[in-house]
Every structure is written in structure tokens, then in C-alpha cells.
Structure 1
Amino acid sequence: MTPLSVLDLSPILEGSDAGQSFRNTVALARHAEQLGYRRFWLAEHHGMPGIASAATAVLIGHVAGQTRTIRVGAGGIMLPNHSPLVIAEQFGTLASLYPSRIDLGLGRAPGSDQATARALRRNLNASADEFPQEVVELIDFLSDAPRQPVQAVPGRGTKVPVWILGSSLFGAQLAAMLGLPYAFASHFAPAQMMDAIELYRATFRPSEQLAKPYVMLGFNVFAADSDAQAALLATSMQQAFVNLRTGRPGRLQPPVPGYMDTLGAPERTMLAQVLSCTAIGSGDSVREQIAAFVQRTGADELMLTSQIFDQQARLRSYELAAAAMHA
């Protein structure tokens, strides 16, 4: 059976606030742990009105402290925004607090505009072009015998598992070259998914961390007790993508009956493309859709995300997805 994990953006709901988002995140993590999900990852975003996981390492520590066994990590940390030493210290601290439970996924996209990048790192000379070098530097900080004169304390010797995140062939090449597990953002950028998987597996070089290729794919799931209810729940995510792509990012909105009927052809085409790696429906329907996706891609693990407005419906979606995979 393909292992399942959870990606959470700690969404801020319309009419709510970040404090409630964090309570919802903890409740989801505990629920996922009870259901047997392998990992619970949080993603770094900045300046987004609907996403509360900006201080990602802080939130990872909070979630890890409120759970017992599930792995908790970053999916991911956007390394161009940070010094590798600072990330090594943060995740070395997390690994020291929660041994054998912390993952560190790294992305090269800053995920922000120039003004936000300046506010985050205050060095606009830093760029995504330096990403490979900084990944190697960070891994060295976490190793038993770093080659650098500066030491990460905590950090040294923790050997926190590092993943490369990506939505293009660049990340696939880097993960293969360094012998690291690869997580592809197919849940919102699926265009190069199959090419990236093929390239990663064909060029993978074993490393101390990983002996053979390991691919985890992002996948949207909107599961409910009926296909119609699931389709309604999915409209919150559809609204979020349309608003983001039209320059109007905001808080996660309540579902809207008949939402797709209100859209023009360009918006429908855009949603069909970016959400092509998505299962919507009842438990049986979701099981068939997930099975078809795994068969097509050969994914070693799936990271499910359910951007659902109602918290109880979101918990139910993950419950149905887990049950579908165990059926």
C-alpha cells in the first residue's frame, strides 16, 4: 500500500484568524496521526492573507509537541529566503527536541516579490541560482563532521533528513545528483510531473541518506459521503486558485454551489490544468482516482492536501482517503 502523508498550509478562513488556523492545524495533525498518515508537513509562504504557516519552523515545533509519533516537517522551507546556518540551527533544535520525527524539505523558489524578499533576507544579491550550493552547505552543517569552520549548535550530528521540493526538471536533477528524496508539487503545478519523475529515477546517485530513488507526489483530495458534497467542498480551493491567478489572493472562502458555472472558459481551463492531480468524490470514487494516479506515476508516497473550508469536513476528507487506501 502506498504511504499517505499530509500537507497543510494552515489556511486562514474567511471570518476567522491565524489563532484558529493553528488550532485547526493541531487537530488535523492529531487526526492524521490516529489514521496512520506517515508525515505532516507545513509550507513556508509570506504575505499571503490566507496562509498562516509563515514562521514554519515555529509551527512545526508546536505541531510536533502536540503529537507523539507522526513525522513533522517542512514542505518546504524556501532556502533563498534564509541563511543555511539559521535553518540548520532551527531544524537541529527541532530534531533535538523531537528525535527521529523531523523532516526538512527545501525549495528554491522565494515564493514572494522583491519587497518581501528584501524584508526576509535583506540581500537581493542572493538568488535561486545559489540553491544547489546552499543545499550542500546546509547538509554539511547537519552532518557528523562538518567541513566548515562555523558550527550549527544545535544541528551538527542531527542529520535531519533533507528532501528536495520542485515543480520542474531542475529540482529533479538536483535531488538525483545529491541522492536525496524528491517531492514534486503536482498538487498545483503538474505540467512537468512525469518528465521530472523519469529524469530523477534515471539519473539518481545513491548517497549516505538514500540508497535508491524515492518520489513523493502532492495530490489534492476532496472526499465526502457523496460525490455531490465533495464537488461542493472543492469549490473553496477552486476559488482560491482563481483569486490567486487574477491577483486577488485572500482568505479561504466558503464553498459556492455551482461555482464552476460562474467562470469563463479561461478560468475553467486554468483550473483543469493546475488541479489535474486531484481526486473529488465519495470514498469509493476517491479510491479509484488515487489508485489510477499511483499506477500512472509509480509514486512511492502521496502527500495529500485538502483545502476545505469547514474543519469537520476537512477531517472527514482525510478519514475517507485513509479508509479508501486501506480498503
Structure 2
Amino acid sequence: MKKLKSLMGKFVTSVVAMTLIVSSMATAAFATGHEDLNAGTYEVEASLTCFVQAMGGVEFGAPLLTGTTVVVNEDGTADMTLSFTTDSMTIYGVACENFIDADAGQIGYFDGSTWKDASYTKSSNTIANSAGEAVHYVDTMTFRLPSASDTYDLSLYINSNVMGVQFGGADAKYNATLTVNWDSAKEIGPPAETVPPTESSSQSSKVELVVEGGYEVEIPATITVDASTKKGNYTVVAKNFVIPEKAYVTVTASKSGALVNGKDSLSFTNTLENKKLQATGDELSGTVEVTTSPSNPGKYAGTIDFTINYYSGN
């Protein structure tokens, strides 16, 4: 009996050890989120739940979701795109045509601390709301994945020809939950920004822009140097400044140069006041000073280069 007991003890120990090894191997193969994926574009299986317990319990979200893709960027961030359609159902004998309506409520997601708007596109097709109005329903929404998870809280307004309700969001009564099966991730291409074109061609268009606001900087066309003092004073003036409160403009210029008359050359320095231009009428004072004496009479000429920079202040 002692021998049998010893053998059984060894047998049980071996089985436990094998079970632990298998479990460890299986866990390593599972994907827990987008951080386990290389940069690229993936198709993944996902399900949407927008459940209302009233009316005997109705699931509005699941039939609307038709596809899910994820773009994992080179920096490890990821953007998810959900594709939607419309759905027909009958509740208490009433035919309902359900759809996601961006005009009636928020299309967004919870980033772990606050609700944020998601980008979305609308279908070229329309469907009637409860007022009989033709609505271009949401056919895709895209949002930045806030964390590695298999569930995400969304904000969707599901409307119909009967009535509508907000799922998810700050004050919503019902939840919209997306569940992602990361093990199903199938790579279908590189990241969107690096997808090579199948075919390429080029055209040109005239581009015009009318901006309410702007600015001008008036710089003198000619700076005259006094022959006796060898100095020439000038002013840079802000004109027609219509810019945001914190915005400003700076002007810098060449600090030195040369005036030339045939083969003769005179060196000069240039000093320009260093301060910000923020409103019409602001000025910068500048002075050109010739530092060498001319050998021959005549007209000496040169140039100064000015650089104008605009800063938004943000």
C-alpha cells in the first residue's frame, strides 16, 4: 500500500505540472489589445450592445454594426473604425427602421476620464426619422483607442421612424458597449499612412482663400544714409493687423552688409529693434551705419534682407 500511495503521488504531481505548462502556453498566444499587434491595418471581430430592458428587452446595437477595423500606428497608438447599417424590427406590432443619427445626439467614446466626440461619416442614403424627415445616417465612426482593452464604452444616438434614444454619454440612461475579440485580428494591410497606391496620377487646381483678418508689415523700399553722419534711420510699421489676441509678428534683418559703387565697397552694420508687433501702428526702429570711409564719390548701394515671422500664440 505504501508503494501504491507513492506512485499515485508522483502521477498526480506530473499531471498538475503539465496542466500549468499548457495553460501558460495558451495565455501567451492570446492577444489582450492593440498593443500586442505590429503596426498595420487589421480586421477584427466585435459586437455592439445597446440593450433596453423595456418592451420585453430589446437589443438595438448588435444588428447595426457590420464591421470593425483597427489601424495600429508606428508609435503604438491605434484608431478604430466601426461600420454601421440600418436595421428593421417589429416591436408590439410596430415596424421600426433603426439607424444611428449624428444630428440628434453625440457620436463619441469614453477615454477613461471623459466623453469625447468621435469622427464619423454619413451615408449618401437617407432614412426617415419620427418626424418624417430624411436623415443621412451614420455609416462609420472612428476614434483613438484610449487603452488596451476588450471593451469600450461608446456614445451613440439610435433613432428610428418611431422614436430615438441616446446610448452612452454623460447623462445617458442606457449603455452602448463595444466588445472586441482581439484573438480574431487579421492583418489586411500596412498602416493607413504607408499604404502604397495601386495607381497614381496628378492634376493641378487653382487654390483661393479669403481670410477674414490678416496683417501687413511695411518695410521701407529705400533707406537713405546721411553722408555726414554715415547713418540712416528707418522704421518698420505694422499695418492692418487683424490677428488673435495672443498672436504676434516678429521682424529680423541682416546685421551687416556692403554698399558697392563699381569696384569700391563700404561695410555697414544694421541694428533693428527687437520686440513684438501685435497691433496696427506698432513700430520697430532701425539704424544703418556705414563703418568704412568712401575712397571715391558717387552712389553706393546695397541690400538688407528682412524676415517676417507670425506666431499664433497657442
TM > 0.5 between the two?
Answer: no
Bigger Rg over Cα: 2
User: Which has the larger helix fraction?
Assistant: 1
Q: Which structure has the higher relative contact order (CA within 8 Å, separation 6+)?
A: 1
Give the shorter-chain TM-score range: under 0.3
TM-score normalized by the length of structure 1: 0.19
TM-score normalized by the length of structure 2: 0.20
